[in-house]
Amino acid sequence: MIDIDRLIGKTLKRAEELGASEVELHVVEEKSVSIYATSKGIEGIKKGTIVTADVRVSIGKKVTVQGCVVSSENDVLNLVEKAVSIARVVPEDPNWVSLPRNCGYTTTFDLVDDKVKVFDIDMLTSIVKEALRLPPQVDRRASANEVVVDTGVIRKWIANNYSVNPVSYEKTSFSFVVEVKASEEGFESSYYRYYNAPTLKEFDLEAMVRDAVNIAVATLKAKPIETGRYNVVFMPTVFAAILRALLVPAVRADQVQKNRSPLARKLFTKVLSENITVIDDGSAPNMIGSAPFDDEGVPTKRKTVIDKGVLLTYLYDTYTAYIDNQESTGNAIRPGLGSPPIPSATNIIVIPGTKSVEDIVKDVRDVLVVYATIGEWLSNPVNGNLGATVTNAIYYRNGEPIQPVKGVAISGNIYRLLNEDFEELSKEVELAGNMLVPAVCVRNVAIAGEKSG
């Protein structure tokens, strides 16, 4: 095995010898075990370890990042040499000021689960087998057609020439997906639920499977509804996907600075309904985006991004913070090997409302409740236009289910839907990846369905 602490020391020294003004090393070791099953049983299991490294160097205002999968200590030293040689020839970045000078830690909770860390294959297979066993017991029309359990242990080290010691942390991850299929009289439907968090603390297998079965069965005879404008409840996982596609890019400082955000020049103005408060929290307990520091070593923190509809801050890494004369908000994320950090969301939390989904559906009278969509990521963050296709929905009238719906395209602009067309947030919240959000009810959603518009 490679001695990472020794390697960090050698790397920083080598960069200095080669003439780098600044150097940063980011090393990640990721161990994982994954099990995949279909309705026929467990199909396969994989286990492995991969170590990656990124080196960022500057020579004056010339900056570059180089990355590689590490097979030996020499790979990292070669990476430094390559980084310095490339930094010599690239054009200057007029916006470059400095690597972070404030690396450190924020106290975090529920980042490591010892049960996940030990990779107990028996425990993992029993989870998979239980997920395969339960659906027909909940409803004879249902079966689990795909179950995936993925567990990981991530160790991360970051050091730069301004830090006395490298910062490091260990984190576990547990991800579970169950796709349930329902069949009856030639009709078929499917619905999936997932859990992704550092620990098993909030993992409730039975509740997830039950929920997936109920929705798959309830949407069995789904078909398109007529083209028109509808009141819509986006259930939490759908609302999370919409926020991920449209709001998160819009509050990224780099997108704002590059004229790719409709929220540019909107700080301290009302951009959403006063009922909506959005928090980015990089140290929230048991959320997958949490860590003691971000991907350039800056301590994470909790910040209110939108307070009662008013935009209070963008999300910054060190580079974009210097441009706006701000401090990093601890939101540096590395999108891939050899890429410079970008500012993006850690965990997004939307403060819930006070009514239950059931009461909202009753009170709104005519409403389409959307449980799942595909293609919401095709939405356009530069103008906030939402576009998605419904796969699981139920049309309710006076609180009664009238018709399950699928195959319709939904459209609208989130800055209208979550402002003048906003109706309500539910009191129930759900963990959807790095988001903890309620359901949202909005009016006036354009739906392309059965007939021409």
Partner 1 sequence: MEYLVDLAEKILNEALNRGAQDAIVRVQEKVYESIVFDNGILRVCSISRVSGLGLTVFVGGSVGYSYASIVDRDSIPKIVDEAITVAKALEYGSEKRLVCEEVKGARGSYRTEFKVNPFDVDLETKVKLVSNLNNESMKKEGIVSAFTRYGCEIDRKYIVSSFYSKVQVEVVAIGLSHLAVARYGDIVERVGDQKTFIGGYEFIEKFDWSSFVNEINDLAYKASQASTITPGVYQAVVDNELVGLLLHEAFGHASEGDAVYSDLSVLKGRLGQVVASEKVTIVDDGMVSGGYPVPFDDDGIEKKVTYIVKNGVLVGYLNSIVTAKKLGQIPTGNARAQDITFNTIVRQTNFYMLPGDAKVEELFEGIDYGVYLKGRGAGGGQVNPALGTFTFGVGPSYIIRKGEIGELVRSVIVSGNILEVLKNVDMVANDLNVSTSVFGGCGKMGQMVRVGDGGPHIRVKKLVVGTR
User: Rounded to whole angstroms, how far apart are CA atoms 120 and 99?
Assistant: 40
Q: How far apart are CA 396 and CA 96, in angstroms?
A: 55
- For the chain, the distance separating the N- and C-terminal CA atoms, rounded to the nearest angstrom, is 64
Q: Which is nearer to partner 1, 157 or 284 (CB)?
A: 157
Amino acid identity, residue 10?
A: K
CA atoms of 241 and 387, how far apart (whole Å): 11
Q: Are 49 and 29 in contact (CB under 8 A)?
A: yes
CB of 123 to partner 1, least distance (A): 11
CB of 44 to partner 1, least distance (A): 4
Residue placing its CB nearer to partner 1 in the complex, 108 or 391: 391
CB of 382 to partner 1, least distance (A): 5
CB of 61 to partner 1, least distance (A): 11
Contact yes or no for 10/77 (Cβ under 8 A): yes
Helix, strand and coil content of the chain, in percent to the nearest 5, comes to 25, 40, 35
Nearest alpha-carbon partner for 429 in 278, 309, 210: 278
Shortest approach of partner 1 to residue 171 CB, angstroms?
Answer: 18
Instruction: Write down the least CB distance from residue 39 to partner 1, Å.
Output: 6
User: CB of 271 within 8 A of CB of 313?
Assistant: no
Other beta carbons within 10 angstroms of residue 403's beta carbon come to 16
CA dist., res. 238 & res. 328, Å (int): 30
Q: Which is nearer to partner 1, 34 or 275 (CB)?
A: 34
| Residue whose CB is less far from partner 1, 277 or 373 | 373
